[in-house]
Structure 1
Amino acid sequence: MEGKEPVWMTELEKIEAKANGLKFFDITDTPSLGSFAHMRAQSAPVYPPPSAHKQVTKVIETLSTAGPRTNLEKFSSYRTRYYRSETGRQSQQWLLSKIQQVTKESASPELQSLITIEEFQHSWGQNSIIARINGSSSTDERVVILGAHQDSANLWPFLAAPGADDDGSGTVTILESYRALLASDFRPQRPVEFHWYSAEEGGLLGSQAIAQSYEAQGLEVYAMSQYDMTAWVKQGTREEIGVIVDYVDNTLTDYNKQLIDAYLDVPYVETKCGYACSDHAPWSKAGYPSIFTIEASFENSNHANIHTSNDRIDVSSEFSFEHMLEFSKLAVAFAIELGGV
């Protein structure tokens, strides 16, 4: 838990802590994460104003709600994607096969030669997935990362957790952006990676493991953006993009606002989680610039249904694929503007 000394917990104690509303990192496997963060903070990146309007707009025009709907219908049909469950492993394998299929069908043979798709192995069985488009620059290997978490959880893991919004929505949102970028023959200068994290609901386990690995390898991250819950528009509220402003990199957050103003059809609202609430947090802990964008202001997000059996596509008209499309636009803009073309 933030601001507390680490304590040992059993898996059951973790489940009970989450059910009681306690917020925590599970640092069992990543005790050294952030060891070099103080050194990295001395060389914070500078982000030039958005300038690739023509390229971004061209790709945005090819985005669709059809693919995300079909993919999310399948992805949320698993009884649960809990990271220690058999269906959690099966859903991850389906997602991997879908990413591979999208790559094969959307990217030219030449572009496919620049792409790697890997499972980041975890001991609990549900692996994280990293799709990387290698950059053309021989002098700038700083990575641009777009992330979402693939697992779901009921407050009590033995119950159903379709996880349509949390975070099936973010998962298929960035997958649609990935598809559209490949179809446009996107050739970035910097490497651009799409991450689908395992075990976010278990205490940010998957993203912590990957961030620690990058830190240990001495890899540099230019910018990281997390997409966790992108579908909900609460009845009676204005449609808007929630820009988290606590526990994030302020400079990159301001840049994200510029992208929203330039490329999206709905405005943003500043909001706070009140804690390091998604997979951007391990990257921040490691000293990398990271941000988090959510479906609405935190108080208007989908609190009633997440972590229950009601987190489904069909639970309410408030679940919106058109709203998700705005986040796919944002992910495209983030990849092109920061990846370089």
Structure 2
Amino acid sequence: MLSLLSSLLCVTLLGLRAGAFPIDDFSVTSQKFLSSAVPDGFSINLDEERLVQFSDDEPPVWMTEREKIRAKALGRKFFDITDTPLSKLAPAPLAASRAYPKLNKQDLVHPVLANLTVDGMITNLQKFTSFRTRYYRSDTGKASQQWLVQRIGEITEEYASTSLAALITVTEFTHPWGQNSIILRIKGASEEATAENGTVLIGAHQDSANMIPFLPAPGADDDGSGSVTILEAYRGLLASNYTPVQDVEFHWYSAEEGGLLGSQAVASAYAQRSVNIHSMVQLDMTAWVKKGTREEIGIVIDYVDADLTAFMRTLIDAYCSIPSVDTKCGYACSDHASWSKAGYRSAFAIESTFDNSDKNIHSTNDRLDISPEFDFNHMLEFSKLSVGYIIETAGWAK
């Protein structure tokens, strides 16, 4: 009955405009937040209309920002396609016609795995969750992004050799809402290999959101965990003086919580330039091990590339100490979907099955100290997966 009511509310929601909403899952307090003036420190017009896509089988609909917030709170997943209305498919990269190889770089990968620790992840996530919210349209969301750029620079300075540092660039992909996406590139030793086989991408989203965006959102698991997980993989690679054969990029996306806005902008820009992408892997929520369940890595099997997903399972078997488990995520559930939309191969790894994932997300309780179920050693398994994925696909120029 509750499920039916929620479904009816979702349908009703799409036909309404500001000021005409029924009472739904939101409390009276929440209604007040969404009808009051926007607090200082936030830059959002709740009445601005946005074009939103809930399914490939449904036409997009115009909704206000206020309605978008309600739809997300009701569990609906979507692309906000206002700025990227069409799926401009990228030309199929050469790598897309090739099967993923059998693993053959174990001797290179395992020494890097030995360099990975939870120490940096703990320190980095403590700082990253100290911002009141990392909401993409907030002052603190911008400040958290600036801190992350600074932290990436500090790690590069500390761990990269002079020759390796010369191959690394960090750029901000600017967005009109203020919080920028971050793109870190390690230039490969072979321009020919990059041109032929494509750039290897790994990403996470840096923003956080409460169901009511003006409330605190520490975002420890969603997706502070993924953000610091790939940062630790980067540090471990630098500490091992890793130089890829083909280009490798680490991405930290802005505005995932607003409808995959940041990753859509980045993927669309790459597609428009016909950038050859080998593959893209997204890590979104890597910390939670539900009490009483088996520790495992969730591999999403819907709206992803099947061959790349199978390759991810192979990597987990080889380089992680826990098994994989298949799970489903739904439409537009994280930033990998933006790359699929643009015509590229993508895959998505998450902390568990969705049924066993962290239920504290999008609340003030998404903290790293909320429960022993928040496990940094579990996150470390995803850093191992990241390192294995990068070295096996981008190679190592020894």
Question: For this structure pair, what is the TM-score category when the shorter chain's length is used for normalisation?
Answer: over 0.9
Answer whether contact 2:337 2:346 (CA < 8 A) is retained. Answer: yes
2:224: which partner in 1? 168
Tell me if 1:21 matches 2:71: no
Separation in 2, partners of 1:50, 1:253 = 14
1:67 aligns with 2:88: no
Is 1:262 aligned with 2:324? no
Q: Distance in 2 between matches of 1:51 and 1:42?
A: 18
Inter-partner Cα distance in structure 1 for 2:92 and 2:253: 26
Per mean C-alpha deviation after superposition, the further-off stretch among 3-12 and 65-74 is 3-12
Shift of 1:38: 7.2
Number of equivalenced pairs: 339
1:82 paired with 2:138, answer no
Equivalent in 90, 104, 120 of residue 51 of structure 1: 104
1:243 is aligned to 2:296: no
Could you tell me how far 1:276 is from its partner in structure 2?
2.9
Matched residue type, 1:163: G
Give yes or no for the alignment of 1:94 onto 2:147: yes
The within-5 A match list for 1:222-237 is 222-237=278-293
Distance 1:104 1:35, change over 3 A: same
User: Higher relative CO (CA 8 A, sep ≥ 6), structure 1 or 2?
Assistant: 1
Q: How far 1:37 sits from its partner (Å)?
A: 4.6
Helix, strand or coil: the match of 1:224? strand
1:93-242 → structure 2 map (5 Å cutoff): 93-141=146-194, 142-242=198-298
Please tell me the residue identity of whatever aligns with 1:46: A
Residue 275 in structure 1 maps to residue 331 in structure 2: yes
Alpha-carbon contact 1:115-1:134 (below 8 Å) kept: yes
Gaps of 5+ in 1: none
- Quote the Cα distance in structure 1 between the aligned partners of 2:74 and 2:309: 31
- The structural deviation recorded for 1:44 is 3.3
> Which consecutive aligned stretches of 4+ in structure 1 deviate over 6 angstroms post-superposition?
none
Contact kept in structure 1, 2:326 and 2:353, CA below 8 Å: yes
Once the 2 structures are TM-superposed, how far is the Cα of residue 140 of structure 1 from its aligned partner?
2.3
Call closer, same or farther: CA 1:40–1:285 in 2, change over 3 Å: farther
**1:291 partnered with 2:347:** yes
Secondary structure of 1:63's aligned partner = coil
The gaps in structure 2 that reach 5 residues or longer are 1-53
Deviation at 1:196, TM superposition (A): 0.2
- The Cα RMSD (Å) is 1.3
Identity, % of aligned positions: 60
SS in 1 for 2:243: coil
* SS of alignment partner, residue 274 of structure 1: coil
- 1-structure distance, mates of 2:193, 2:85: 29
**Residues of 2 paired with 1:247 and 1:117: CA distance?**
29
Post-superposition offset of 1:47: 1.3
CA 106–334 in structure 1, closer or farther in 2 if over 3 Å, else same: same
Inter-partner Cα distance in structure 2 for 1:137 and 1:291: 25
Q: Secondary structure at the match of 2:256?
A: coil
Once the two structures are TM-superposed, the CA of residue 17 in structure 1 deviates from its matched residue by: 1.3
> What SS is found at the alignment partner of 2:265?
helix
Q: Secondary structure at the match of 1:182?
A: helix
Shift of 1:46: 2.4
Structure 2: how far apart are the matches of 1:247 and 1:140?
28
- 1:45–1:222: 8 Å Cα contact kept in structure 2? no
| d(CA) in 1 for partners of 2:362, 2:97 | 36
The residue that corresponds to 2:373 in the other structure is: 318
| CA displacement at 1:124 relative to structure 2 | 0.2
Moved more, 181-190 or 324-333: 181-190
What is the CA–CA distance in structure 2 between the aligned matches of 1:64 and 1:128, rounded to whole Å?
26
So what's the TM-score if we normalise by structure 1?
0.97
